[in-house]
Amino acid sequence: MTQIDGTPNGSDNDHKVNGQMVTVDGTPLKASLKRAERKRTLIAFLLVAPLLTYLLISFIFPIGQMMWRSVDNPQLVSVLPKTLEALQDWDGEGIPDEPVFEALAQELTVASANRTIGRVAVRLNYEISAARGALMRTSRSAEDMEPPYKEAFLDAHRLWNETEFYRIIKREGRPLTASYYVAAFDGTYNEDGEIVMQDENRRIYIDLFIRTFSMSLGITLLTLLLGFPISFLMASLPMRKANLLMIFVLLPFWTSLLVRTTSWIVLLQQQGVINELLIFLGVIGEDGRLGMIYNMTGTIIAMTHILLPFMVLPLYSVMKTIPPSYVRAAKSLGATPWTAFWRIYVPQTLPGIGAGAVLVFIISIGYYITPALVGGQSGQMISNLIAYHMQTSLNWGLAAALGSVLLISVLILYWVYNRLVGADSLKLG
């Protein structure tokens, strides 16, 4: 709105009525301009609207819906409402009284008949491992139970004799839950319902977050270490030669991710090219073959190779704009080549280093394919566990909680990236 086109000359007396400027048809100029501007804003917005709508529906809404799953807790509330109401009067000590069991027997019978019990059983099993068996077995016999229901339940399964179980039912009988996030940070609930850390040997996720972050950091540093010299070289060469060398960076960038991963398998595996070469050269013996893949080393090597172009492209574009005269000036003023490089040149490359580093880091903390294919056990990252909970364990709430933590970390990093370079300056190819 900074630019208004075709503003008429103010001294043009023909278009002035009562000291106010008007257009040919007599409307005040101000209103007319405003209308034109509104129309142009509308057109601009209408051009963006189709894609925006499309992405809101097919991309942003689904992700929001998935994140909602990390706190959504509808199973108990929908299937056992009366039981939960009766449990409100229970003080959390010992075994609840008869009314709870009466409601429970009634609702389990219904749930067993319309097969909604499975959802509740699976949900409670995330919290305590025998819950599925207890509920499935009890619900089958619930129909034939007779008062007093309490006794009948206590006989039906050992879990019904444990105060812990009722506490869990009461806690998870709310429409929203924090338990997936508690699990995602290796927490658990103690007897008093307070959140505490899991036993040492059952902690998985915090280690995995730390591993994911430290691997990503390592990969970022490696790409910087390898990317800086070649960007520097290309920036100091004449255009023609630099463009030629750029092919070495762009070809991997354009090559299929799976192709690059495959080629690292070919190179690094036990019977692979590098091991055979080392044996041929006599560096290692036949039984000394190096295990360079299906572990963390393999993941780091392959991902460094895959992400190196993302470091080189922003670095190179910044270095290209640095005038060589500053370094020359420093040298002529008596700086050693090292001082000139470190004190004068490097600070000028910082925007490029920052942009490249954040970009590589963002991409690597969400990486899935390469760790899944070459990571083995020790090279798995957080994405792999999200996929595991999505596809194998089917604990979608936990997958959603882990995913939300990952997504929020990425968004914060992206915000930092945006502050450093601005999203508009994202360059491709």
In the region spanning residues 69 to 98, those forming contacts with other proteins, defined by CB under 8 A, are: 69
| Smallest separation (angstroms) from other proteins to the CB of 378 | 18
| Smallest separation (angstroms) from other proteins to the CB of 351 | 18
Find the angle CA(57)-CA(62)-CA(67) to the nearest 5 degrees.
Answer: 140
Contact 138, 185 (CB under 8 A): no
Distance CA 281, CA 222 (A): 27
**Binding to other proteins (CB under 8 A): which residues in 228-247?**
229-230, 233, 236-237, 245, 247
Distance CA 406, CA 410 (A): 6
| Smallest separation (angstroms) from other proteins to the CB of 102 | 36
Distance CA 315, CA 230 (A): 10
Question: Which tokens in the block code for residue 42?
Answer: 């509308």
Q: Which stretch binds other proteins (CB under 8 A): 120-128, 135-143, 178-186, 400-408?
A: 400-408
| Smallest separation (angstroms) from other proteins to the CB of 194 | 31
| Smallest separation (angstroms) from other proteins to the CB of 189 | 26
Q: DSSP alpha helices (H): ranges in 142-282?
A: 149-156, 163-171, 179-184, 205-236, 239-254, 257-268, 273-280
**Binding to other proteins (CB under 8 A): which residues in 293-312?**
305, 308-309
- Counting contacts by CB under 8 A, is residue 140 touching other proteins? no
- Residue (of 257, 295, 289, 275) closest to 374 by Cα position: 295
Q: Which stretch binds other proteins (CB under 8 A): 21-29, 130-138, 213-221, 225-233?
A: 225-233
Distance CA 5, CA 36 (A): 10
- Counting contacts by CB under 8 A, is residue 399 touching other proteins? yes
Q: How many residues bind to other proteins according to rule CB under 8 A?
A: 94
**Binding to other proteins (CB under 8 A): which residues in 339-368?**
362, 365-368
Contacting residue, 76, 400, 401, 421, with other proteins by CB under 8 A: 400
- Counting contacts by CB under 8 A, is residue 17 touching other proteins? no
| Smallest separation (angstroms) from other proteins to the CB of 64 | 8
Contacting residue, 100, 386, 398, 420, with other proteins by CB under 8 A: 386
Find the angle CA(407)-CA(409)-CA(413) to the nearest 5 degrees.
Answer: 115
Quick one: 110 or 410, whose CB is closer to other proteins? 410
**Binding to other proteins (CB under 8 A): which residues in 31-70?**
37, 40-41, 43-52, 54-56, 58-66, 69
DSSP secondary structure letters along 301-315: HHHHHHHHHHHHHHH
Burial of 364 (0-12, 13-18, 19+ CB in 10 A): buried
| Smallest separation (angstroms) from other proteins to the CB of 391 | 8
Quick one: 348 or 418, whose CB is closer to other proteins? 418
Q: Which stretch binds other proteins (CB under 8 A): 140-148, 170-178, 213-221, 404-412?
A: 404-412
Distance CA 184, CA 190 (A): 16
- With a CB cutoff of 8 Å and minimum separation 6, the contacts of 161 are 95, 154
| Smallest separation (angstroms) from other proteins to the CB of 4 | 10
| Smallest separation (angstroms) from other proteins to the CB of 394 | 12
Q: Name the strand (E) or helix (H) holding 399.
A: helix 396-421
Count the neighbouring beta carbons within 10 Å of the beta carbon of residue 325.
Answer: 9
Quick one: 49 or 197, whose CB is closer to other proteins? 49
Terminal Cα-to-Cα distance of the chain (whole angstroms): 32
Contacting residue, 273, 283, 350, 394, with other proteins by CB under 8 A: 273
**Binding to other proteins (CB under 8 A): which residues in 244-263?**
245, 247-252, 254-263
DSSP secondary structure letters along 314-344: HHHHHHTTS-THHHHHHHHTT--HHHIIIII
- Counting contacts by CB under 8 A, is residue 265 touching other proteins? yes
- Residue (of 292, 307, 105) closest to 220 by Cα position: 307
- Counting contacts by CB under 8 A, is residue 370 touching other proteins? no
Find the angle CA(53)-CA(59)-CA(63) to the nearest 5 degrees.
Answer: 130
Contact 331, 407 (CB under 8 A): no
Quick one: 96 or 314, whose CB is closer to other proteins? 314
Quick one: 136 or 369, whose CB is closer to other proteins? 369
Count the neighbouring beta carbons within 10 Å of the beta carbon of residue 192.
Answer: 8
| Smallest separation (angstroms) from other proteins to the CB of 92 | 35
Q: Which stretch binds other proteins (CB under 8 A): 74-82, 119-127, 184-192, 405-413?
A: 405-413
Quick one: 255 or 339, whose CB is closer to other proteins? 255
